[in-house]
Amino acid sequence: MTVYEQRDPRFRALIHANAQLRQIGTGFEWTEGPVWFPAAQMLLFSDIPAHRMMRWTAETGCSIFREDSDYSNGNTRDPQGRLVTCHHGMRGVVRTEHDGSRSILASHHGGKRLNSPNDLIVHSDGSVWFTDPTYGILSNLEGYKADPEQEGSFVYRLPPGGGAPRAVITDFVQPNGLCFSPDEKVLYVAESGGSQDPEAPPAIRAFDLGPDGVLTNRRDFALIDRGRPDGIRCDANGNLWSSAADGVHVFAPDGVLLGKILVPEVVSNICFGGARGNRLFITATTSLYQIAVNAAAADWPA
* Residues near Mg ion (CB under 5 A): 118-119, 176, 230
Contact 258, 15 (CB under 8 A): no
Find out whether 75 and 122 touch, Cβ atoms under 8 Å.
Answer: no
Closest to 283 (Cα-Cα) out of 296, 270, 297:
270
H/E stretch holding 84 reads strand 83-87
120-154 core/surface letters (b: 16 or more CB in 10 A; e: else): bbbbeeebbbbbbbbbbbbeeebbeeeebebebbb
Nearer to Mg ion, 150 or 283 (CB): 283
Of the pair 89, 159, the CB lying nearest Mg ion is at 89
Minimum CB distance to Mg ion smaller for 187 or for 292: 187
Closest CB to Mg ion among residues 132, 230:
230
Least distance from Mg ion to the Cβ atom of residue 90, Å: 17
Which one, 119 or 299, has the nearer CB to Mg ion?
119
In whole angstroms, how close is the CB of 249 to Mg ion at the nearest point? 15
**Cβ 131 to Mg ion shortest distance, Å:** 7
Q: How far is the CB of 133 from Mg ion (least distance, A)?
A: 8
Least gap, CB of 40 to Mg ion (angstroms): 23
| Strands 31-37 and 112-113, sheet pairing | unpaired
Side chain identity, residue 222:
A
